[in-house]
Amino acid sequence: MKQVNALVLRAAGINCDYETQYALELAGANAQRMHINELIKKPEILESIQILVFPGGFSYGDDIAAGKILANQVQHHLGDIVRKFIDDGKLVLGICNGFQVLVKTGILPGLAGADNKTQTVTITNNDSAKFDDRWVYLQPGTDKCVFINKDQRIYLPMAHGEGKVVTKTPEILEAIKANGHIALRYVDENGNTGDFPINPNGSMESIAGLTDSTGRVLGLMPHPERFVRKTQHPRWTRLGDDVTVDGMIIFNNAVKYVEENL
């Protein structure tokens, strides 16, 4: 079987890189962590990589705005390289702070026909005006994203103070909805959208995750890498064999896609 190579990009303040590397390895990938400065010096490293991950944390202390400084680094030093990576059919995943980076580089939502270098979406302060840490249900909103199963609702932990997804204009929101860019929505256990705490940050359209026009880029606020073992579920002792390790769905699907298509 083909060896799948994944790269977890890190920077000062990133704090979920080890967990993300571990999740990728559980899924069968050969995963390594690398500081962005090293990748800037040797961008040819990406030639042997099929999955690029921007993990969670607080890159550069989230100074200015969450993920903005790392996004500027990516945009100015690696923007064209990452876009070629995507054009070559490879996968990009952004988790929490990594999702913030992807929208602030313009890579997401990645509307077809757009230059995908201009920011059209942002992720800003939660409506609650506080850091929120809870488990949430997520309902897939599209059948085009290779990381998710379109009919499978999942349950993941989230932890952020800036998770509210907002579009620059109403027209961009309509385009995102119409063209299947909403990968995941916050819902209750029955699949219904709602106000806080169902939608924990006030995101437009209850958006928890976005995908691009190819379906090979996913950004989401909740943390799949924090639910890769049954015992990480908050009710695992009561649910027993009924626990599905939902975080692994995203990593398993990524590795499977690469094995079958690249």
Question: What rounded mean pLDDT belongs to the chain?
Answer: 96
Establish how many alpha carbons lie within 13 A of residue 82's alpha carbon, considering only the half-sphere containing its beta carbon: 30
Percent of the chain with pLDDT over 70: 100
In order of start, what are the domains of the chain with their CATH numbers?
5-261 (3.40.50.880)
Q: What is the pLDDT of residue 72?
A: 95
Q: What is the tens place of the pLDDT at every residue in 187-238?
A: 999 999 999 999 999 999 999 999 999 999 999 999 999 999 999 999 999 9
7-21, 63-77, 87-101: lowest mean pLDDT where?
63-77
Which tokens sit at 100?
A: 């913030």
- The average pLDDT across 147-152 equals 96
Kindly indicate the confidence band of residue 1, based on its pLDDT and cuts at 50, 70 and 90: low
Buried b (16+ CB within 10 A) or exposed e, 115-124: ebeebbbbbb
Q: What is the tens place of the pLDDT at every residue in 23-41?
A: 999 999 999 999 999 999 9
64 pLDDT more than 70:
yes
Assess contact for 176 and 167: CB atoms under 8 A.
yes
More confidently predicted of 28 and 65:
28
Task: Give all strands (DSSP E) within 103-206, no chain letters.
Answer: 121-124, 132-140, 154-160, 164-167, 182-187
CA dihedral for 247, 143, 95, 220, sign (positive or negative)? negative
List active site positions: 96, 223, 225
User: What contacts 169, CB < 8 A, 6 or more positions away?
Assistant: 120
67 pLDDT more than 80:
yes
DSSP 34-81: EEHHHHHH-GGGGGG-SEEEE--B-GGGG-SSTTHHHHHHIIIIIHHH
